[in-house]
Amino acid sequence: MKKNGRKAALVIDGSHVSFEDMLAVAKDGMPVVISRSKEFVRRMGRTQKALMDGMQKGVAIYGVNTGYGKSCGNRISMKVAMKNGINILRFHGCGTGEPIGIEETRAAMLTRIICLARGYSGVSIDLLKQMADFLNAGITPVVPCEGSVGASGDLTPMSYVGATLAGEREVFYEDDIVPAAKAMKKAGLKPYKYLPKEPLSMVNGTTTMTGIAVIAVERARRILDAAIAATALSVHAMKGNAHHYHPVISEAKPFPGQVQVANKIARLLLSKVSARQLEDDALETLQDPYSLRCTPQVLGVLSDALAWIKQWVETEANSSNDNPIFDPATGQVLMGGNFYGGHIAFAMDGLKAALASAADMCDRQVMLLVTPNLNRGLPGDLVRLNGGQEGFYHGFKAMSIATSALAAEALKETMPAASFSRSTESHNQDKVSMGTIAARDAERVCTLTERVVSIHLLAAAQACDIRQNIQTRPLLAELLHKIRQVSDPVIEDRPLDEDIERMCVVIRYTDFFQGKS
């Protein structure tokens, strides 16, 4: 992970943490420091004292001196309560599926630190420091992706994080999967000894879904920029009508996202010559097909959705989504439902729908580019014809089929996960969010859409090479040059899977398309 140039470290002191700083920690490895300021220590200490006082007085505190879930009617003695907790990290060790990504898990760990640092949970600063030490040492818990219903939070996935802090289970460390205890010893860390309530506070919240959502939102932003660039290249290659992106059209329907997308496409299409010279003379080009003409209206939805989705994710990440919590002013124990992931579920269901629509649009543009009776003079399948070999090469034929498959799968994933709430845990958890499933779906749709847009960029670049007039539009020429650093033109048929993957890396990990659109 690269070093972050903006800050030496992220200081956790209970104050708001920006979305950008979350990304810097999760993706770039910015160090995390737990504050030792008097005010922060005092605030954390107040609710920790409230917890211990309540236990001494015999006050029923859910999950501390009671059983969990439907078993909360079972009271536990003070002696047992002092040791109670670590068991929740063990019996929730039933996750299945592939591990959650390292970036997503790091984001989840950070959001748990942020949550507990707000001072409502009654946990110690040492617990926060243990998680920060893991992040700073590059120790990432191996967390199976399946098994959370998103309320009472991400119990099962976060049990894996909690267990590793105590030296149990496995972690990613130095490009390998090793026992947590081994990684900790090598990094100079000791297994954490949990205090009362702390194991529950590790698992009872929206942490995993929020960590996945943080990374998904950032990926979607980059996909949006790349799709705008691919569309501009396609308009040029198709001899399309640049006036479809005239500012007055968006002024007449002033959704911010539509305005921004139209302006970016129009900027990329700026030409050294009259735009009319680059358009097809046929009457049909008076209006291009919807997948080109309506790009601001399609991608504008994704752009506008990202604005509120990012805000919701940032708010969730900065919330105290634990249960129970304590009033820092009075010490009163309060048992509620902040662990419910409804906002993340709705946000991620919305994100995947907007992304899949973008994938569908890009797939349609690829179809325009490869189809002879639609592409305004380009060769079928964008084959760079060699004399006497017509019919031998097939160019982008299979690539266009691939985009259709990828787009169809993305569209299939848009079924709202939140709609599948079901009663669980002896009907105590009788309404759940399915927020983690929604976030995982959004992550999957990000991957599928990245691949569609990558193929779209390659096809549009091939078409622009065939036109041989890209220099009339300097910004598009620069885009084409960048693509050609990743993938050579297709002269003779060859496998293109590695080209697609390289382009996906460019979309996901660089700001090139953001800077040029």
| pLDDT 10s digits, 145-185 | 999 999 888 999 999 999 999 999 999 999 999 999 999 99
For the stretch 222-251, pLDDT in tens is 999 999 999 999 999 999 999 999 999 999
Per-residue pLDDT, 427: 77
Gap between the Cα atoms of 195 and 127, Å rounded: 9
For the stretch 70-98, pLDDT in tens is 788 788 887 777 776 788 999 999 999 99
> Percent of the chain having pLDDT more than 70?
95
Q: Which residues contact 466 (CB under 8 A, 6 or more apart)?
A: 237, 378, 379, 382, 384
- Residue of 190, 32, 203, 50 whose CA lies nearest to 116: 203
Per-residue pLDDT, 515: 58
- Residue of 327, 423, 428, 292 whose CA lies nearest to 121: 327
For the stretch 97-155, pLDDT in tens is 999 999 999 999 999 999 999 999 999 999 999 999 999 999 999 999 999 999 888 99
Per-residue pLDDT, 275: 60
Burial of 469 (0-12, 13-18, 19+ CB in 10 A): middle
Asked whether 157 and 144 are in contact (CB, 8 A), the reply is: yes
CATH class of domain segment(s) 214-516: mainly alpha
Does 426 or 364 have the greater pLDDT score?
364
Gap between the Cα atoms of 466 and 458, Å rounded: 12
Asked whether 170 and 448 are in contact (CB, 8 A), the reply is: no
Q: How many CB atoms lie within 10 A of CB 305?
A: 21
Backbone φ, ψ for residue 107 (5° rounding): -65, -40
Asked whether 205 and 339 are in contact (CB, 8 A), the reply is: yes
Tokens found for residue 391: 């019919």
For the stretch 58-72, pLDDT in tens is 999 998 988 887 788
SS3 label, residue 66:
strand
Kind of pairing, strands 170-173 and 333-334? unpaired
Q: Where are the domains of the chain?
A: 10-205, 214-516
Tokens found for residue 341: 């992931």
Gap between the Cα atoms of 431 and 473, Å rounded: 55
Q: For domain 10-205, give the fold.
A: Fumarase C; Chain B, domain 1 (1.10.275)
Per-residue pLDDT, 388: 58
Looking from the CA of 501 toward its CB, the CA atoms found within 13 Å total 4
Question: Which residues, listed in sequence order, are joined to residue 140 by a DSSP beta bridge?
Answer: 172
Mean pLDDT of 286-301: 97
Residue 447 has pLDDT above 80, yes or no: yes
Mean pLDDT of 9-33: 98
Per-residue pLDDT, 281: 58
Backbone φ, ψ for residue 37 (5° rounding): -65, 150
Gap between the Cα atoms of 364 and 344, Å rounded: 30
> Percent of the chain having pLDDT more than 90?
84
Gap between the Cα atoms of 222 and 506, Å rounded: 10
Burial of 2 (0-12, 13-18, 19+ CB in 10 A): exposed
Instruction: For 56-95, give one letter per residue: b (16+ CB within 10 A) or e.
Output: eeeeebbbbbbebeeeeeeebeeeebeebbeebbeebbeb
Kind of pairing, strands 325-326 and 333-334? antiparallel
Determine if the pTM surpasses 0.75: yes
- Residue of 210, 203, 208 whose CA lies nearest to 63: 203
